[in-house]
Chains A and B, each alone.
Chain A
Amino acid sequence: MTGKYHLITYAVAFIIILALNFLLPRMMPGDPLTAIYGDEALIAMTPELQEHLVERFALDEPLWQQFGAYLGALVSFDLGYSYYYNASVFSVIIGSLPWTLLVVGTSLVLSTLLGIILGIESGWRRGSKTDRALLTGLMGLNGFPDFFLGLVLLIVFGVVLGVAPLSGAVTPYAGLTGFALFLDVLRHMALPVAALTLAHLAGSYLLTRNTMITVLKAPFMLTARAKGLKPGSIKYRHAGRNSMLPVLTMTGIWLGRLVTGALFVELVFAYPGVGQLTYQALLSRDYPVIQGVFLMVAVSVLAVNFIVDMIYPHLDPRVRHAY
Chain B
Amino acid sequence: MHISLKREIKRSHFGQAGLALLALVVIAAAIAPLLTAYDPDQQTAASLLAPSADHWLGTNHVGQDIWSQLLYGARTSLAVGFGVGILGLILSIIFGVSSALIGGIYDQIIMRIVDALIVIPMIIMVILVAAYIRPDLFILILLLAALSWQGGARVIRAQALSLKESGHIGAARAMGAGRFYVARRHIVPDLGPILLVEFIYGVRRAVFIQAGLAFLGIGDPMLVSWGTMMRDAMSFSYLNVWQWWLIPAGVALSLTIIGLTFVSHAAESVLDPRLRGEAVA
Contact = CB atoms under 8 A, between A and B. Distances in A.
Contact of A145 (B127, B212, B260): B212
A301 B120 contact: yes
A16 B113 CA distance: 9
Interface in B123-154: 123-125, 127-129, 131-133
Contact of B261 (A5, A139, A287, A291): A139
B118 to A, nearest CB: 8
B250 A25 contact: no
B234 A268 contact: yes
Q: Which of A12, A24, A268, A285 has the most CB of B within 10 A?
A: A12
A143 B254 CA distance: 5
Interface stretch (B158-166, B168-176, B213-221): B213-221
A151 B234 contact: yes
Contacts of B259: 143
B3 interface: no
Interface residues of B, number: 51
B37 interface: no
A131 B246 CA distance: 32
Interface string B238-254: 10001000110010011
A10 B128 CA distance: 20
Contacts, number: 160
A278 interface: yes
B208 to A, nearest CB: 6
A301 B121 contact: yes
Nearest to A298: B120
15 contacts: A12-B113, A12-B115, A127-B278, A128-B279, A139-B261, A140-B258, A142-B257, A145-B211, A148-B250, A151-B246, A210-B274, A214-B274, A267-B215, A282-B217, A301-B121
What 10 A-B pairs are tightest by C-beta distance, nearest first? Answer: A143-B258, A127-B279, A13-B116, A256-B121, A12-B116, A148-B250, A143-B257, A9-B115, A260-B123, A294-B128
Interface of B: 14, 112-113, 115-121, 123-125, 127-129, 131-133, 208, 211-212, 215-218, 230, 234, 237-238, 242, 246-247, 250, 253-262, 265, 272, 274-275, 278-280
